[in-house]
């Protein structure tokens, strides 16, 4: 009788252990299923965080490339204007010096007038150079603001579907020291931004 009681207790103990294992495995399976379904939920245990490499984005985002080319063209135009006027002024100054050395001026007053005119022209050229540089800085700031606003506005729309809790901007690996590849959404964002930009053109 005692042996029978021991056998029954042993079978019950094994049955309880088996049931316990089955219940735990069912819970873990259902948790895995929940984690892989629905846009609002975390996929495969991945945190709802992502980052965008800004250097790479700016390198491949067509709007950024167009803005940069436009700025370079304006810089080249400004430099060409200044260089052209500087060459012209140098020619006039060389001519003034030649005339001065050969006593070609009718009077000292006439030579002084010409010298004052050339000095004024030189000051005007320096002022023009400063103004053009200032304009270029303002244009660059405006383009940077437009670019930032474009990206920020897009990220809000982008995240309506993707449901990230946090999206970090990363520049030359300054902010993110290490991250799994799945957290880098730079290519996806760049592709979507370019599609949107081409559609608006």
- Same domain flag for 14 and 91: no
Q: What pLDDT score was predicted for residue 150?
A: 93
- Same domain flag for 87 and 168: yes
Own/partner pairs for 75-84, CB < 8 Å, 24+ apart? 75/136, 78/132, 78/133, 78/135, 78/136, 81/128, 81/132, 82/125, 82/128, 82/129, 82/132
Mean pLDDT of the chain: 82
- Same domain flag for 20 and 107: no
In angstroms, rounded to a whole number, what is the distance separating the alpha carbons of residues 185 and 163?
13
What's the domain range around 14?
1-35
Give me the number of domains the chain comprises: 2
- Same domain flag for 13 and 58: no
Model pTM score:
0.65
pLDDT level of residue 41 (50, 70, 90 thresholds): very low
- Same domain flag for 14 and 41: no
pLDDT level of residue 11 (50, 70, 90 thresholds): very low
- Same domain flag for 6 and 41: no
- Same domain flag for 185 and 99: yes
Q: Are 78 and 132 in contact (CB under 8 A)?
A: yes
Q: What pLDDT score was predicted for residue 120?
A: 96
């Amino acid at each position: 009788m005692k042996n029978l009681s021991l056998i029954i207790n042993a079978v019950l103990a094994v049955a309880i252990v088996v049931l316990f294992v089955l219940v735990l495995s069912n819970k873990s399976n259902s948790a895995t299923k929940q984690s892989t379904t629905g846009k609002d939920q975390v996929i495969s245990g991945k945190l709802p965080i992502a980052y965008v490499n800004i250097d790479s984005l700016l390198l491949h985002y067509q709007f950024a490339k167009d803005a940069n080319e436009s700025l370079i063209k304006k810089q080249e135009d400004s430099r060409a204007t200044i260089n052209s006027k500087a060459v012209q002024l140098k020619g006039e100054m060389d001519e003034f010096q030649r005339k001065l050395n050969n006593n070609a001026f009718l009077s000292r007053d006439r030579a002084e007038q010409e010298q004052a005119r050339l000095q004024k022209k030189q000051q005007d050229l320096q002022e023009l150079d400063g103004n053009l540089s200032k304009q270029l800085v303002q244009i660059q700031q405006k383009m940077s603001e437009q670019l930032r606003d474009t990206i920020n506005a897009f990220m809000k729309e982008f995240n309506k579907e993707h449901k990230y809790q946090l999206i970090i901007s990363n520049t030359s690996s300054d902010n993110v020291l290490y991250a799994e590849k799945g957290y880098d959404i730079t290519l996806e964002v760049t592709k979507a931004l370019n599609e949107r930009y081409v559609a608006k053109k």
